[in-house]
Amino acid sequence: MTKITFLSATGFDFVVDANDGDSVMQAAILNDVPGIVAECGGAMMCATCHCYVDPDWQHKVPPPSDGEREMLDCAASELRQTSRLSCQIKVSAELEGLIVHLPEAQL
């Protein structure tokens, strides 16, 4: 189990114990974190699990693939340098304490 904190755009935080091997998106869905929609279920066909990795954590998370970058272009909220699809970030012990920020909207 790895602790992940989701910070909503309106200032709420959700701390979840995520299963290692799951994606950050799955951790959010399994723990009923509002703000991650994940319409395609992790097939990288939509951009509704968009999140911003906290700048302090950015270097610890592997960079996005080209496909993920293309899909991020379709995100509903502002695209930032820290933007990621949470379905493409795998939870592991190295990410213990990871903080991700949720965008204002996913659709």
Partner 1 sequence: MSIAKRLVIVGAGQAGFQAAASLRQEGFEGSILMIGDEPALPYQRPPLSKTYLKEGDPARLELRPRSFYERLGIDLAMPNVAVDVNRADRVVRTEDGARYPFDYLILATGSACVSPPIPGAALPGVHQLRTLSDAERLRHSLETARRVVVIGGGFIGLEFASVALQAGHEVTLIETAPRLMARALSAHMSETFGKYHMGCGLRLKLSESVLRITADQRGVYSIVLEHECVEADLVLLATGVRPNVLLAVSAGLEIDNGVRATETLQTSDPAIFALGDCASFPDPFTLQRVRLESVQAATDQARLIAKNIVSDMAAPYAALPWFWSDQGQYKLQIAGLSLPGDDEAAVERGDGSLSVFRFRSDRFVALETVNGPSDHMAARKILQARVPVSRQELQRTDFDVKSLARAMTSASN
Provide the binding-site residues for partner 1, judged by CB under 8 A: 22, 26, 29-32, 39-41, 43-45, 66-67, 70-71, 73-74, 107
Pick the closer one to partner 1 by CB: 17 or 56.
Answer: 17
Pick the closer one to partner 1 by CB: 55 or 76.
Answer: 76
CA–CA gap between residue 62 and residue 88 (Å, rounded): 9
Minimal distance, residue 59 CB to partner 1, in Å: 25
Q: What element of type H or E holds 85?
A: strand 83-85
CB 48 within 8 A of CB 106: yes
Minimal distance, residue 55 CB to partner 1, in Å: 27
Minimal distance, residue 47 CB to partner 1, in Å: 9
Pick the closer one to partner 1 by CB: 15 or 45.
Answer: 45
